[in-house]
Chain A
């Protein structure tokens, strides 16, 4: 259970960071 959770949280956080980067690019270009 725990190893799967570690992978899921890691992927979620990296996805979140990519979303932040994209959001940032949209904001500074608006």
Chain B
């Protein structure tokens, strides 16, 4: 599908009356420009959160793919520009927008927007741009850049001059605009028509709060344990003020969902103070971090750090509801015992399930006789017997923890395909 979409502009250009070539380098540069345009258009498809596309891979991977693919598209654009700059500098004309040809200025604006998009996304934290500002800026730069690029292509008119081809190009642009309307207007409208209500706000160990939400209209559809939703609180769904949170209850406890939130950022610190009765909007469920993804698994290994425990809770509660007899081993790292979220619930689950919970504490209390320090190779080898190597391994927690554990597991002989890490911290 993606390959066909990328090839489409070339098929269009080469169909019908064909314009003659100029030289290989010139036409290669033009080809890179068209290819970059098609690749950029695909980004809007990737970020529209179409469920049929996000379900098999997990939306975190779709966003990661968006990141890699978009960087590639900008490389194509830079290639398009660089070839012209090196071999055909005179064709670029004046840099001053007042005297330059407008369509070339449009091209420069598009290039500037897309380069800025990549820089602000890759270095958002270094540049100290808030998540909200980044999100508004990201959408604005994408729309301006894309519009400028369409204007640039039609204005320059190479290979697009004939009326039929111009119509085809406009058709491509209109379908991309349609995608944007879907993402920014229709999808939020559907969320707005289906509000949720906070019915409980339960304080838990380590400052975490569980917000229990009840649907006022439709409940979640096709919900699997371990998935997450985008939550909008105190704003309309059109405002782009949504944040992802894992559902910590299993679908069997539905239609209510419980989101366990640790006050780490501005939004989450505010969200944990929400009172029952408040309205909320829930978009989801998304994610593929679920025991249901591997129905034939003989058992499960779960490794969590801090608030990364929430998707494990949902999966474990689902096992409890289903009387799932399969064994599960949970290795759970925390700074100290006070911060070990859900420790009471985990102790209860240990009694009901074939579950072994291993707490690993960095700063253990004096009478502690469990594991201490970080989740390292020794801890993993002590608690994961040889026959667990082919079980699915779920990792969720801070980036450095999941990365370190992942490389240890690989070194211990766990196949890469059996390691599933949830990636939240993309920008």
Q: Which residues of A contact B (CB under 8 A)?
A: 1-7, 9-11, 13-14, 16-18, 20-30
Contact = CB atoms under 8 A, between A and B. Distances in A.
Given A17-B6, A21-B28, A29 B21 contact: yes
Contacts of B22: 29
B316 interface: no
A18 B378 CA distance: 47
Interface stretch (B70-78, B145-153, B181-189, B252-260): B70-78
Contact of B28 (A2, A4, A16, A22): A22
A2 B293 CA distance: 13
Contact of A24 (B31, B57, B76): B31
Contact of A17 (B61, B76, B419): B76
A24 B420 contact: no
| Residues of A contacting B: mostly | helix
Interface of B: 2-3, 6-7, 10, 13-14, 18-28, 30-32, 34-36, 38-39, 57-58, 61, 64-65, 68-69, 72-73, 75-76, 79, 416-421, 423
Contacts of A24: 10, 13-14, 27-28, 30-31, 34
Contacts of A18: 32, 35, 76, 79
A16 B3 contact: yes
Task: Enumerate the 7 nearest inter-chain pairs by beta-carbon distance, A residue then B residue, closest first.
Answer: A21-B31, A28-B21, A14-B72, A10-B68, A29-B21, A25-B27, A17-B35
Contacts of B417: 1
Contact of B72 (A1, A10, A29): A10
Contacts of B30: 21, 24-25
A14 B25 CA distance: 18
B27 A3 contact: no
Contact of B31 (A11, A16, A25): A25
Given A1-B416, A9-B65, A28-B20, A21 B58 contact: no
B61 A3 contact: yes
A11 B65 CA distance: 10
B38 A17 contact: yes
6 contacts: A1-B419, A16-B3, A17-B38, A21-B10, A21-B31, A28-B20
Nearest to B421: A3
Given A2-B420, A13-B69, A20 B20 contact: no
Contacts of B421: 3
Contacts of B21: 25, 27-30
Contacts of B23: 29
B27 to A, nearest CB: 4
Given A6-B61, A13-B6, A14-B39, 4 more contacts: A10-B65, A17-B38, A18-B79, A25-B21
A3 B423 contact: yes
